[in-house]
Amino acid sequence: MSLIVATEALLGVMFVVGLGAVSLLPGFATALGAEFPEFAGLRGPLLALGITFMVVGLIALAMLALLVCRIYTGSVLERRSLVWVDVLVGAFVFAAVLIVVGFVVISIGQAGSLFLAIIQVLTCLSFVVVACVTLVLRTLLNSAIGMRAELAAVV
């Protein structure tokens, strides 16, 4: 039980830090635009991508918190839990799409490097792998929900 409470608290702290990061992004983008005026035209698109990426991360944190809360209350083996897992998978996939869009924006602006491209590709693949693993775990959750329903019918 204490592990669940600690996990909820840490997810809450991460959510608050994420909100703070979203509020700091515009100032950070302005400072970078002043430091690198040749790339000032990319400020708007990359800022929009950064804020969207952070919001998607906050949504993923909220879904994780809801799932942990359902574990705490003992209601994780209900069909409604699958909706939160689906939203979590969608957030991972959308994050991978945002990375691809960022890659395109940076490439068009000719602001990237080979190292940045490698990091983007690896990050995108990581999000796709995490989404696939989450889908496998969703299948396991769905099976457990079915088994619980069978057990309830027998009892």
Q: CB-side exposure of 15: number of CA atoms within 13 Å?
A: 15
Alpha carbon distance 13, 7 (integer Å): 10
Number of domains the chain contains: 1
Worst-scoring range by mean pLDDT, 9-23, 50-64, 104-118, 122-136? 104-118
Each residue's pLDDT tens digit, 97-147: 999 999 999 999 888 889 999 999 999 999 999 999 999 999 999 999 999
Domain enclosing residue 79, as ranges: 2-154
pTM (two decimals): 0.89
Q: CB-side exposure of 40: number of CA atoms within 13 Å?
A: 8
Alpha carbon distance 24, 21 (integer Å): 5
Output the pLDDT for position 33.
Answer: 85
Alpha carbon distance 74, 125 (integer Å): 33
